[in-house]
Structure 1
Amino acid sequence: MFNTDQGSQFTSPRFLTPLKAAEIQISMDGKGRAIDNIFIERLWRTVKYEHIYLHAYPDSLDLERGLAKYFHFYNYGRKLQSLD
Structure 2
Amino acid sequence: MRILYFAWLRRQIGKASEDIVLPATVTTLGDLVTHLRSLSEGHAAALEDLEGLRAAIDQEFAEFDAPILGAREIALFPPVTGG
Q: TM-score range by the shorter chain?
A: under 0.3
Whichever of the two has the greater Rg, that structure is: 1
Instruction: Identify, as 1 or 2, the structure richer in strand.
Output: 2
Scaled by the length of structure 1, the TM-score of the pair is 0.26
Scaled by the length of structure 2, the TM-score of the pair is 0.27
Query: Per chain length, whose mean CA-contact separation is higher, i.e. which structure has more relative contact order (CA < 8 Å, sep 6+)?
Result: 2
